[in-house]
Amino acid sequence: MTRPAAIVALALSTSCALWNASKDEPREGGEGEGEGEGEPDAGDAGGGDADAGDAGRGEDAGDGGCPRGLQACDVICADLDTDPSNCGECGRECAKGTACCTGTCVDLQSDSSNCGECGSICSADQERVCCAGECARLADDELNCGGCGNVCPGALECESSRCECLSDPRPFSDDPPDLDTVGLWHLDRVLDSRQTVRDSSGNGLHGVLGADVVGDDDDDPEWIENDAFDDVTALSFDGGDYVRIYAGDQLDGAFSVEMWLDSKGEVQEAEFGTLFEAKGSFSLAFDWDGGAAALSILDTGGKPQASFETPLSVGAGWQYLAATFDGTTMSIYLNGVLASSTVHADIVLGNATEYFMGGDDADAPFYVGRIDEVRLSSVARTDVEIASYFCPP
């Protein structure tokens, strides 16, 4: 039993000596870094400057412990240049439909410096602007003619920021009447009856000049050659003339009236001049004072329920004018393009008892100028239809 005990004692003695020796040796790193001076080890735990940089506060660190280029906003690291919830500064939120570009909220649909996406610039020297997220040249873009969203309908083309017809205009005589046509008056003189204004719609709504008395020139407009269309005539009104058409129950809550007119540049004594009137239903007139076309929906007594105007040039030669009403919206078109419209609710369109051009046999103000190719429809013609009538495809 003595030999094993001696061996154990020798092993313990050797282990203690080795431990004490290691305790007394200086640690790696040189003198002065003895027990209790373990800064490098503290750094390994996250307290040393060099290693702390690796944790996010070194030269690549941003604000609030975020990577460089980002900003601490509440619990996230945000890019203030692009974050729509923190655009330019924390908490600044861009409105719905806008985006954050270089710290500014912009509308990508209309911002010419950020068109469709941030940084996409519409060239100003090419006169381009941003329309619906795409760069457009308003001078000749048929989808954005003269302004974003201004579409040239039908065969009209965009020239110098205006929708224009580049082909020759045509009279309605080139088109057969459709089922929605109430009356179609080409105003071509009938050789065997100079007092008759023939209806080509097939509905038999023939009109007469003035009082329908041959030789009664006081009420009769004059037949003239139309220099806009070959081999056709028109009617010239001198301020006391009219055409009378006996009507029936043809309108059903909507209408379109279209015509070619050439208004003389003379200022008239009357404020308005009647172009076309459906007695007890509607009136399309020329406003001499304002230089405008005026559309009115009339009650059965002839008083306006609703009216509005749109500018119309005086003395500009032959122009194509159209007015429509679909039951709520009143619209006026000039040379195939919608000029203006307005909405009126609760309007009841009455049925006309008679139709007149240029004035009437009572006290309606008379028109001075020329009229040709008149069409009345029982529907509100569309933008494309009206453009096509003015400018053939």
* Residue 299 clears pLDDT 60, i.e. is over it: yes
Which range, 90-94, 226-230, 360-364, is most confident?
A: 90-94
* Residue 24 clears pLDDT 50, i.e. is over it: no
pLDDT value at position 216? 55
* DSSP per-residue letters across 78-119: E-TTT-TTSSSSTT-PPPTT-EEETTEEE-TTT-TTSSSSTT
* Residue 46 clears pLDDT 60, i.e. is over it: no
- What's the pLDDT band for 289 if we cut at 50, 70, 90? confident
- 186 or 362, greater pLDDT: 186
46-55, 136-145, 244-253, 324-333: segment of lowest average pLDDT? 46-55
For residues 23 and 265, give the distance between their C-alpha atoms in angstroms, rounded to a whole number. Answer: 117
Which range, 210-219, 229-238, 376-385, is most confident?
A: 376-385
- 55 or 98, greater pLDDT: 98
- Mean pLDDT across 359-388: 88
Instruction: Say which amino acid occupies 239.
Output: G
pLDDT value at position 45? 40
- Mean pLDDT across 255-261: 94
- According to DSSP, residue 67 is labeled B
Dig out the tokens for 106 from the structure: 């912009």
Q: Are 182 and 203 in contact (CB under 8 A)?
A: yes
- What's the pLDDT band for 270 if we cut at 50, 70, 90? low
Q: How many residues are recorded in the chain? A: 393
Instruction: Say which amino acid occupies 265.
Output: G
- What's the pLDDT band for 366 if we cut at 50, 70, 90? confident
* Residue 255 clears pLDDT 90, i.e. is over it: yes
pLDDT value at position 3? 44
- 197 or 228, greater pLDDT: 197
- 372 or 301, greater pLDDT: 372
pLDDT value at position 212? 59
The answer to pTM > 0.85 is no
Domains observed in the chain: 172-390 (2.60.120.200)
Phi, psi at 364, each rounded to 5°: -65, 140
* Residue 349 clears pLDDT 80, i.e. is over it: yes
* Residue 380 clears pLDDT 90, i.e. is over it: yes
Q: What angle do CA 82, 86, 87 make, to 5 degrees?
A: 50
> CB-based contacts of 246: which residues, under 8 Å, 6+ apart?
205, 207, 354
pLDDT value at position 311? 86
Q: For residue 43, give the H/E element and its range.
A: helix 39-44
**CA 151 → CA 141, 334, 374, distances in Å?**
8, 15, 26
Burial profile 207-245: b = 16 or more Cβ within 10 angstroms, e = fewer:
bbbbeeeeeeeebbbeeeebebbeebbbbbbbbbbbbbb
pLDDT value at position 36? 41
Q: In this prediction, what percent of the chain has a pLDDT beyond 90?
A: 45
* Residue 382 clears pLDDT 90, i.e. is over it: yes
> CB-based contacts of 232: which residues, under 8 Å, 6+ apart?
171, 173, 186, 187, 188, 225, 226, 372
Give the helix ranges, DSSP H, for 252-381. Answer: none
* Residue 127 clears pLDDT 60, i.e. is over it: yes
> CB-based contacts of 214: which residues, under 8 Å, 6+ apart?
194, 195
Ramachandran region, residue 112 (left: φ > 0; alpha: ψ -120 to 50; beta: rest): alpha
pLDDT digits (tens, 9 = 90+) for 129-188: 999 999 999 999 999 999 999 999 888 899 999 898 887 766 665 667 899 999 999 998
- 171 or 338, greater pLDDT: 338
pLDDT digits (tens, 9 = 90+) for 68-109: 999 999 889 999 999 999 999 999 999 999 999 999 999 999
Q: What's the start-to-end Cα distance of the chain, in Å?
A: 125
